[in-house]
Structure 1
Amino acid sequence: MMTVLSISHNELSRFDTLQRVEQRELSAEDAAVLLGVSRRQVFRMLAAMRERGAEGLVSSKRGRPSNRRLSPARTDTAIALVREHYHDFGPTFAAEKLEEQHGIRISHDTLRKLMIEAGLWTTRQAQRLPL
């Protein structure tokens, strides 16, 4: 069965550069400079490419949740507090108040995303669109 491989432009460029190294059209040092990695990393990528082809160059982190994501309990608590006390605040001011009043430290960008998902905040573009 054939599998579909989603590859980014950056990974495709790496694949092309590494193929040129394999065909000895390009040195590992030159490839390292082109790719912005160390010479050793070029050899690691070459080994992965030889073993698994283009799929070996695709990030293994793709599709997995971030290690830096907030716990669902923390996001639920933050949204509940914003809904209860700060529903008419913008994300930046609400984030400041969450930290001052409740000891919950959350970036205003993350809070903005959570508020949009919860329907407590609309983007400027959405505010301008006629209904």
Structure 2
Amino acid sequence: MRLSAQVMGMLLFGAVGVLNLAPGLIALMPAKLSTTYGVLTTDATAILLLRHRAVMLAVLGTALVAVAFLSNLRIPVLAAAAVGKLSFIALVLPSRGAHPQLTPVAFADIMALVVLVAAAVLTRAWTARP
């Protein structure tokens, strides 16, 4: 029974990791900004900042996939994921005038946090391992 919980937790870490990797494509294809976030801008600075956000999400996604297998790194990666997701949620949900396509992204982050908590519980991320 314990092994199956461990495997399920690992799969959950991997799934959230892959979901964070997907926006990384925006860094390579900035034209996707309009379909992903509803952002229609020709401002080069805004586009660069959003592409950088995409790279940072891909880095987080890579780390989440890695911690599916590297248990000793789970706590810092979980902390980074929680800070990133909670900060986006805290910025988007109370904001007025933001594009409506950002609300589903914030709710996806809420769901990702729930899944990450489940993954942490299933893998006992907070316990020391040899």
Give the TM-score normalised by the residue count of structure 2.
0.23
| Structure of larger gyration radius | 1
Which has the higher relative contact order, 1 or 2, with Cα contacts under 8 A spaced 6 or more apart? 2
More helix by share: 2
Give the TM-score normalised by the residue count of structure 1.
0.23
